Amino acid sequence: MGVPDDPGSSAHERPRGRGAGHDHGHRHDHGHDHDHGDGRHQGHGDGRRHDHGDPRHHDHDHRGAPLRRLIAAFALTTSFLLVEAAVGWWSKSLALLADAGHMLADAAALALAIIAQRIAAQARTRARTYGFRRAEVLAAFANGIALALTATWIFIEAARRWREPQEVHAEALTITAAVGLIVNVASALLLSTGEHGHNINTRAALAHVLSDALGSVGAILAGVLILAFGWTRADPVISAAIGGLVLWGGWRLVRDTSRVLMEGSPIEIDLADVETTIRSVPGVVDFHDLHVWSISDGFNVLTVHVVLAKGHHGTDVAAAVARRLREQHALTHCTIQPEPLQEEHLVTLRRPGARSPRDGEPASSRRDP
């Protein structure tokens, strides 16, 4: 997969070394390091090497295990979310409604994880060579915007209730929040148990559920303060704190998904280390047009042009670079394009019709007529 020599779109541009220009007149050997899940390795008549090794396509043995746990946690979270929202509306507890909003974020995260599992199993098409992986990123971006709007409503309502405290059914608030905490703990156990099948989706969903448990603890605290001291303003205060959790979760979603959609360098990839790794491979004199970006969460892609040292074959060097990137940086979808080192030559220029230098006379001492 080629990339344009466009400095504006490059994740990193190294000043080209001596003779590192991109000459389209010579033959390119492309070293690609990918892995198709179907295990088929196709040869190419143009000398390109493809070695596909995407780990997200390899582990099919236990894919059903995390998917079943995700579905169970989603069903449990969504069911109680509806109950908590209904009780919060009836009891006039903003803390419960805010916690229900936070739990909605958890349900959305679980749904996205389920969708991601389904999408990963779909075959790519000619129209979409990467499949539908970006669908989960777009959905997460929309979810982050929705969470930010939800947090804004919580803050506005909390400010209104601080100025005009409302009577809250503290017993219903406390009991419902306690049940919500139990539901969150049960969901966390569902997502964390099992010897096999843990992946990035289950870990991300687990983090969401654990953060929502803090919201349930806050709602319980609001109910206890109202029951013990009659401080009705505890409801909007705790609600604002939960709204902060919701806003933080929404901001993280928007930030992370925007990075993917704008094809920024993955946050877990240190480009300086990647550069050092490429330069350390025998046969690499220099490199340019280094691009690293993400197709979706956990699916990172790298392309780079490497300049070959004399006496090294492009296919061998490309394979070595791809192997080193896979071993040291877990970059399994790489395209390495080797280029020969172009020597600089001194060219003698003279005006049309000028005499050639006489034998034994330096070109610099001759005077043109």
Beta-bridge partner residues of 284: 308
Q: What is the pLDDT of residue 337?
A: 94
Q: What pLDDT was estimated at residue 308?
A: 94
pLDDT beyond 90 at 282: yes
pLDDT given for residue 168 in this prediction: 86
Letter string b/e over residues 311-342, b meaning 16 or more CB atoms within 10 A of that residue's CB: ebebbbbbbbbbbbbbeebebbbbbbbbbbee
Q: Quick count: other Cβ atoms within 10 Å of Cβ 83?
A: 15
Q: Tens digit of pLDDT for each residue in 317-326?
A: 999 999 999 9
Q: Which two tokens stand for residue 242?
A: 């939960």
pLDDT-based confidence at residue 129 (cuts at 50, 70, 90): confident
Q: Return d(Cα 108, Cα 127) in angstroms, integer.
A: 28
Q: Is the pLDDT of residue 236 over 60?
A: yes
* Spatial contact of 293 and 259, defined as CB atoms under 8 Å apart: no
Q: Give the tokens for residue 32.
A: 């690609």
* CATH number of 66-262, picked from 1.10.150.120, 1.20.1510.10, 1.10.275.10, 3.30.70.20: 1.20.1510.10
Write the DSSP assignment of 108-171 as a string of letters. Answer: HHHHHHHHHHHHHTSPP-SS-TTTTHHHHHHHHHHHHHHHHHHHHHHHHHHHHHHHS-----HH
Q: pTM of the predicted model, to two decimals?
A: 0.64
pLDDT of residue 276: 94
Q: Which residue would you say has higher pLDDT here, 216 or 3?
A: 216
* Residue 119: other Cβ atoms inside 10 A: 15
pLDDT score for 59:
39
Domains 66-262 and 271-340 share a fold: no
Name the DSSP letter for residue 53.
Answer: B
Top CATH class, 271-340: alpha beta
Positive or negative: CA dihedral 300, 305, 311, 316: positive
pLDDT digits (tens, 9 = 90+) for 69-115: 888 888 988 888 899 899 989 988 888 888 888 788 778 878 877 87
Domain range list for the chain: 66-262, 271-340
Comparison of pLDDT for 204 and 334, the residue scoring more = 334
Question: Within 10 A of 365 (CB to CB), how many other CB atoms are there?
Answer: 8
In sequence order, the 6+-apart residues with CB closer than 8 A to the CB of 93 are: 87, 168, 169, 172, 173, 219, 222, 223, 235
Chain segment 198-225, per-residue pLDDT in tens: 555 566 677 777 777 888 888 899 889 9
